[in-house]
Structures are given as C-alpha cells and as structure tokens.
Structure 1
Amino acid sequence: MTWDEMAPLLWEATGQTVEMVAWSTLFTVLIGLPLGVALVVTDRGGLLPSTPLNRVLGLVVNIGRSLPFIILMIAVIPLTRMIVGTTIGTTASVVPLTLGAAPFFARLVETALREVGDDKVQAAQAMGASRTTIVGKVLLPEAMPGLVAGLTVTVVALISYSAMAGAIGGGGLGDLAIRYGYQRFETPLMIVTVVVLIVIVQLGQMLGDFAARHLARR
C-alpha cells in the first residue's frame, strides 16, 4: 500500500479517534466529577457524611474500574444499542468508553479533592458558607491542578481504550490497525498507525501538563 492510499485512511481514522475521545471525555467529566465529589463529601468527616451511600458509591466505582475494557465493551452491548441504536461505529463506542473511564476519573477526582487542606474548608465553614459553596468555591478551585492532571491521565487512557474499541468495529485508528495492519498484513500501515497514536498521546500529555503547571502557579 502506497502513502497516497494510506493517507485518506489515516486521516479518516484519526478524525474518528479524536471524535470518540472528545465526546467520551465530555461525558466522563459530567459523570465522574460529581461521582468523585460525592465520594468525598459522603465519607466519614465529609461535608455530608453518609456511610451507607459512600460504600455503595465506592462499590460502583470499584466494579467499574475492575472490569477489563474489552469485556466491558461486550457486556454493555445491549445498553449501547438501547442508547444509540447500534453497536458499531464511532458513536456507539462512546458509551463503553464513558462507562470505562468515568469510575477511573472519579477516583482521581477523589484523590485531588482530598489533597485540599482541611483548614481551608474549616475557614469557609466558620464564615457560614453552605456545603454547595464550599464545594464550588473552595474544594474544586483549590484542587484544580490535580483535577486537570487527573483528566490528562484519563484522556490518555481513553485514547488507549479507543484503540481497543476497534476490536468490535468501533472505528478509529484501532479499527484501521486491525482491519488493514493485522488482517491484511499491511505492516507499514500498522507502524504508521502506532506512530500516530503515540503522537496523539504525547500531545495530550503535554497540553495537560502545561495546563496543570499553569494552574498550580496561580
């Protein structure tokens, strides 16, 4: 296969991967951030302690994190079909990608929030701030560098997950590598695909590290 033949395939597959990762990142934040906050505030000594709820949330997160992604993709096929109407393609891949990454990100959110000093929370409480205000004006802003670092790790994981989604027809660079690089023995295309994935990961990591450092200086 010549470069002229590979280029359109690589361009399309790269676009699909970026689309999958972008949408999955959005939904991961929408689910994982509140879940991570809930793990912190419902814990013993938290703003709204509730041991039973905290244990249930922790169990849900641990189950989500313990499932290998390839198994998760197959297990949620009925849910994926119910939500998007199909089980193959870029859009369908967003469902298992989100379900796989949200629990992971929730734990990273929990870790970042726990690094915020208790003195800042206590000072806000002494001034009469509500629980919602403390979360929105103290915990999240103070933990922002850690949250951005955690999101960066999650995005890198999502890129890896998106490559695995190609195993069940999820599209993207993983699907291209399997269909052409593996099944059709197009080794040069396989190598280029791997290089493109590495470049995407490096760019994502660099941007995330830069943002986290910038926020830490403020």
Structure 2
Amino acid sequence: MITEASLDTLLMLGFSVLFTFILGLPLGILLFLSGKSQNVVLRTINTVVSFIVNIFRSIPFIILMVALIPIVREVFGTAIGVRGTIPPLVIAAAPFFARLVETSLREVDRGVIEAAQAMGANTWQIIYKVLLPEARAGLIAGTTITAVTLVSYTAMSGMIGGGGLGDLAIRYGYHRYELTIMIVAIIVLVVLVQLLQWIGDALVRRYTRK
C-alpha cells in the first residue's frame, strides 16, 4: 500500500508541477510586463489578472478543492483519485508560482534590459534571451518552493479521497488507528520534501550568476 500510495503521490506531484510551470510561467511574465507598462490596456490587464491571481491565492487549498468538485467531475469524469486531484492542484499552485515568477523577473538588473533594448531587441527577444536566463536561479528556486508546497497539497487532498500518501495516512492511519502506516507515510513525505529541496538548492547554486 505504501508503494502504491507513493507512486500516486509522485504522479500527482509530477503532472501538477509540469502543468503549473506551463501555466504559471507565462502568467508571471504577463504580470511583470503589464505591471511595468505605461499602456492603459496593459495596465488594465494587469489589474484584472492580479485580482484573479490574488483571489485564488487567498482560498485555502482544501476549500478550493471541495468547491471545484462539481466542475472537475463534469470535465474530467471524476473528482477523486489521481486524475481528479491534479486539476485543483494546478489551479491552486499556478497563481502562487506566477507571483514567484514575477518576483524573480523584477530582480533582474534593469541595466541589462536597457542594454538589450539599446541593441534593438524586441519584447520577445528580451524575454527569452535576457529576462529568463538572468532570472534562471530565481525561477528554479520558485519551482522548488512550488513543488514542496504541492507535496503538502497532495497530502491534504487525502481528506476527500484524493489518493496518495495523504489518503493512505487518513484512511488507515487515522480512521483505522494503524499508527505504523501513518508514521511511514509521514516519513516518506518528509524524505520527498528533503529530496526536492536538495535538488532545487543544488540547481540554484549551479545557475546563480556570480
């Protein structure tokens, strides 16, 4: 049971991190670019997107997951297990990651951006050849933080049948009073978090510009 639950947790974590990155990265870039623009349309977009992002960041994950059950069941055919848990995980984590991306991009030296503009670089060239490479260490750190947060979210999803180690710990460790299973599930989660943090820290050190 521990092996199966661990694999379910890894599946939920892997797919949710992937889709969170795919959605959160462009959303964070949009927040950064529109926030610094003097264009009225872009400023309006920034206000609207920031408001939506802040709303989803304000809702506790367990409440968000319960609220999304009818929608997830309608779209994906189930609201429980690995398949039904990944959409709420992504919806909860993508706004969080977008803010981390925005913060990382703000830390890029303004002089580097101005130098690229002086050489005739357009907006997309500045994004892909200046902003993202310069903010790479911060983006890796943000991804690590998001992944660790998603580990705790996958555990919380066990409260409503989300599957994985959290579900195992609640169904067997809590409801059936099998303390050993709960302890083992907690140990596996702790090891997973430590491993993710170690990999993230190593990558940040590797790509930090001296």
> What TM-score bracket applies, with the shorter chain setting the length?
over 0.9
Q: What TM-score does the superposition give when structure 2 sets the normalisation length?
A: 0.97
- For structure 1, the residue ranges without an aligned partner over 5 or more in a row are 1-8
Q: CA deviation at 1:48?
A: 9.7
Tell me how far apart the structure 1 counterparts of residues 132 and 121 of structure 2 sit (CA, whole Å): 15
Distance 1:147 1:47, change over 3 A: farther
Among 94, 97, 110, the alignment partner of 1:105 is 97
- Number of the residue aligned with 1:165: 157
> Structure 1 runs of 4+ off > 6 angstroms?
46-49
Q: CA deviation at 1:114?
A: 0.3
How high is the sequence identity, in percent, across the aligned residues? 53
Q: CA deviation at 1:77?
A: 1.1
Measured on the aligned residues, the alpha-carbon RMSD in Å equals 1.5
Tell me how far apart the structure 2 counterparts of residues 29 and 172 of structure 1 sit (CA, whole Å): 22
Q: What TM-score does the superposition give when structure 1 sets the normalisation length?
A: 0.93
Cα deviation code 1:93-125 (max 9, x no counterpart): 000000010010000000000000111111111
Contact 2:141 2:201 in 1 (8 A): yes
Tell me how far apart the structure 2 counterparts of residues 27 and 63 of structure 1 sit (CA, whole Å): 20
- Number of the residue aligned with 2:44: 52
Size of the alignment, in residue pairs? 210
Among 184, 195, 204, the alignment partner of 1:192 is 184
Tell me how far apart the structure 2 counterparts of residues 161 and 96 of structure 1 sit (CA, whole Å): 10
Q: CA deviation at 1:75?
A: 0.9
Q: What SS does the corresponding residue of 2:36 show, helix, strand or coil?
A: coil
Distance 1:180 1:46, change over 3 A: farther
Cα deviation code 1:5-44 (max 9, x no counterpart): xxxx100000000000000001100111000000000013
Contact 1:41 1:49 in 2 (8 A): no
Among 182, 203, 209, the alignment partner of 2:195 is 203
- Number of the residue aligned with 1:134: 126
Distance 1:41 1:48, change over 3 A: farther
* Aligned amino acid, residue 17 of structure 2: T
Q: What SS does the corresponding residue of 2:108 show, helix, strand or coil?
A: coil
Tell me how far apart the structure 2 counterparts of residues 30 and 44 of structure 1 sit (CA, whole Å): 23
Cα deviation code 1:126-151 (max 9, x no counterpart): 11111011001100110000000000
- Number of the residue aligned with 2:166: 174
After TM superposition, the structure 1 stretch with the greater mean CA deviation from structure 2, 37-46 or 47-56, is 47-56
Distance 1:48 1:91, change over 3 A: farther
Tell me how far apart the structure 2 counterparts of residues 178 and 45 of structure 1 sit (CA, whole Å): 48
| Superposition map of 1:1-218 within 5 A | 9-45=1-37, 50-217=42-209
- Number of the residue aligned with 1:3: none
Contact 1:40 1:46 in 2 (8 A): no
Tell me how far apart the structure 2 counterparts of residues 40 and 47 of structure 1 sit (CA, whole Å): 13
- For structure 2, the residue ranges without an aligned partner over 5 or more in a row are none
